[in-house]
Amino acid sequence: MPTREQREKKEAKRQRRLERRAVRDLQNERDRGRQRLRRVGYGLAGLAAAVALGLVIWLVYLQPRPGESVSTSGAGNHSGQPAGGYSTSPPTSGPHAPQAPPWGEQNSLPEELQVHALEHGGVLVQYNCSTPCLELVRNLRSITSPYDRGVILAPYSRMDARIALTSWGRIDLLDEFDRERVEEFVDKNRGHAPEGIQ
């Protein structure tokens, strides 16, 4: 029969084993809690990323763009100007010249070149002045000149409005200069075309 001292040693050893097991169990429970917390964190991060992506898609692609929507035709058709003319003035789509015009300010721009610029994701800001309109041109230039690609400023006398904003399938006509409206049209319509900005 074991002595009292042996029994006490055995009991102390058992207690240490139980304490180590309790510490190990506590550590395992903490680890499981951390894992659950990490999974929740990853889930929340994934949800936040999905919400952010959805917001970007809505802002860029699904939110209505400024200007009036016009039916389009002639993407990729480099046969020149259509025999019956374009459906809008200035044009917003249709057959066009095989070459695209340079971006930036132009002194004149034939319609078949206008359409090719639109097909390449460009926005045209055009003005019609029966008398010199230096202030209007200066105001429009202040909006268009920061863009090195995708925007053209040019005169266009074959329209009733004073200012025309066009992109592929969209048009906005203004009788007076409206900085906010012009800036919004350029920003939100630039690049929206069959071939993007080239």
CA distances from 4 to 7, 9, 12, 97, 137 (A): 5, 9, 12, 108, 107
Does the pTM surpass 0.95? The reply is no
Q: What is the pLDDT of residues 115-160, one digit of tens each?
A: 999 999 999 999 999 888 999 999 999 999 999 999 999 999 999 9
Q: Using CA atoms, how far apart are residues 170 and 192, in angstroms rounded to an integer?
A: 10
Residues with Cβ within 8 Å of 145's Cβ and at least 6 positions away in sequence, in order, are 104, 105, 153
Cα-based angle 19, 23, 29 (whole degrees, multiple of 5) = 140
Are 103 and 144 a contacting pair, CB within 8 Å?
A: no
Domain assignments of the chain as residue spans, ordered by start: 1-63, 69-189
On whether the 69-189 domain is CATH 1.20.1690, my answer is no
- C-alpha radius of gyration, the chain, whole number: 34
Q: What is the pLDDT of residues 93-106, one digit of tens each?
A: 988 888 889 999 99
